[in-house]
Amino acid sequence: MKKNISLFSVCALLISVILISSCEKAEPEPPLSDQISGQYEVDYYLVGTTLVSLPVTVDGITATAKIDISRISDTDAKVVFTFIQTASSFGLSDESTSTVPSVSLSKSSTGEIMGADASGNSITHKNSEVEVILKSNDPSKTLTIHANAISS
């Protein structure tokens, strides 16, 4: 009888160890700003109803654009849109930037990370793609930018 009890105890202990060690611990989700931080290459932008695919070359000048998103805090990010024009024959480059200094981020039930600032500028991120909307008082001048993450 004593042998059965000790065999039972050993089996129970072994099963307990196996069950405890087989349980996976969920990794905590990284902060929202860390999930979207990085550099993105702009595929196209829309101003009012005019769609411009990038890169585009006109009269020897090539236009490209990028978006840089950086962390401010766990739920806030800074967004910088840079438009670049390069004259191929001279190798000269000119850049202009628009900055959204702080966007408050949240995550939707569908997994998109979204954010907005007090001026109505917004960002949506899903599957390594980002859309940034830079609002204007004149809706025909509102800039919608679509970009994909640059692989590192």
- pLDDT per residue over 94-125, tens digit each? 999 999 999 999 999 999 999 999 999 999 99
The backbone torsions φ and ψ at residue 47, rounded to the nearest 5 degrees and listed phi first, read -115, 115
Confidence of residue 1 (pLDDT cuts 50, 70, 90): very low
The residue assigned the tokens 């769609």 is 51
Give me the long-range contacts of 124-133 (CB less than 8 A, separation at least 24): 125/35, 125/36, 130/36, 130/40, 130/67, 130/69, 132/67, 132/79, 132/81, 132/100
Report d(CA 144, CA 47) in Å as an integer. 7
Q: Report the pLDDT value the prediction gives residue 93, as an integer from 0 to 100.
A: 84
Does residue 137 carry a pLDDT above 60? yes
Confidence of residue 133 (pLDDT cuts 50, 70, 90): very high
pLDDT digits over 37-78, tens only? 999 999 999 998 999 999 999 988 899 999 999 999 999 999
Confidence of residue 27 (pLDDT cuts 50, 70, 90): confident
Confidence of residue 28 (pLDDT cuts 50, 70, 90): confident
Contact 108, 84 (CB under 8 A): no
pLDDT digits over 11-26, tens only? 666 666 665 666 667 7
